[in-house]
Amino acid sequence: MSAITVGIALVPHPATLELLGGAIHELAQHWSLTPETLWRVEESGALVPNGFHAQFRRWHEARPRRCVAHGVGFSVGSPTREAARRAAWIERLRDDARVFGFEWITDHLGASRLGGRELTLPLPLLMTDASAAVVRTSLDELRAVAPDVGVENSVFYFHLGDPRDEGAFLRACLRERRSHLLLDVHNVYTTALNAGIDARELFDTLPLERVIEIHLSGGVDSDPRWLPGGATRRLDSHDDAVPEPVWELYERALRGCDNLRAVTLERMEQTVEDEADARTVEDELRRARRMLELVRG
What does the binding site for Fe ion look like in residue numbers (CB under 5 A)?
A: 184, 215
> In this structure, how many other beta carbons lie within 10 angstroms of the beta carbon of residue 135?
24
Smaller CB separation from Fe ion, 96 or 236: 236
Smaller CB separation from Fe ion, 180 or 215: 215
Q: Three-state SS for 117?
A: strand
State the nearest-atom distance from the C-beta of 284 to Fe ion, in Å: 14
Q: Three-state SS for 165?
A: helix
Whether 213 and 246 have beta carbons less than 8 Å apart is answered as no
Angle of helix 51-62 relative to helix 83-100, nearest 10 degrees, comes to 30
Which residues is 179 bridged to in the sheet?
149
State which residue has the least CB distance to Fe ion: 215
The answer to whether the Cα torsion of 249, 250, 254, 260 is positive or negative is positive
What is the DSSP secondary-structure string of 26-77? II-SEEEE-GGGGEEE-TTS-EEE-HHHHHHHHHHHHS--EEEEE-SSS-TT
Smaller CB separation from Fe ion, 207 or 225: 207
Smaller CB separation from Fe ion, 92 or 215: 215
The DSSP bridge pattern shows strands 66-70 and 30-33 to be parallel
Smaller CB separation from Fe ion, 210 or 215: 215
Residues 91, 241: Cα–Cα separation, whole Å: 36
State the nearest-atom distance from the C-beta of 116 to Fe ion, in Å: 26
Smaller CB separation from Fe ion, 215 or 234: 215
Angle of helix 166-173 relative to helix 129-142, nearest 10 degrees, comes to 50
